[in-house]
């Protein structure tokens, strides 16, 4: 019997009107003036979500042009595939 993977919670760090927004789906969770600050905010939210729900959290970090720069999964064991980064 194949192991069923739980669906991960996804957070996105995206550019928005000269700032950086952290969102979950269509809901804005937080905002910062710098991308670094928004990433820190997203990591803090990810760890709180992990405590509340053990499914796993993935953070997609976007470039200023909107393309995905990096994707981080917490905990690492919840990463659905092996890839660089």
What pLDDT was estimated at residue 82? 61
Strand partners, 24: 27
Sequence-distant (6+) residues with CB within 8 A of 29 are: 11, 22, 23, 41, 42, 45
* Residue 47 CA neighbour count, 13 Å, CB half: 5
Report phi then psi at 55, rounded to 5.
-65, -40
As given in the structure block, the two tokens for residue 84 are 């660089």
Q: Which has more confidence, 9 or 23?
A: 23
pLDDT for residue 15 is more than 80:
yes
pTM of the full structure: 0.78
pLDDT for residue 14 is more than 60:
yes
Confidence label for 63 from pLDDT (cuts 50, 70 and 90): very high
Contact 32, 15 (CB under 8 A): no
Q: Which has more confidence, 67 or 54?
A: 67
């Amino acid at each position: 019997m194949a192991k069923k993977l739980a669906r991960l919670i996804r957070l996105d760090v995206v550019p928005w009107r000269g700032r950086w927004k952290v969102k979950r789906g269509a809901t804005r969770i937080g905002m910062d003036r710098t991308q670094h600050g928004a990433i820190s905010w997203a990591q803090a939210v990810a760890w709180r979500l992990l405590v509340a729900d053990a499914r796993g959290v993935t953070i997609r970090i976007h470039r200023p042009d909107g393309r995905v720069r990096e994707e981080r999964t917490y905990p690492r064991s919840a990463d659905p595939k092996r890839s660089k980064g």
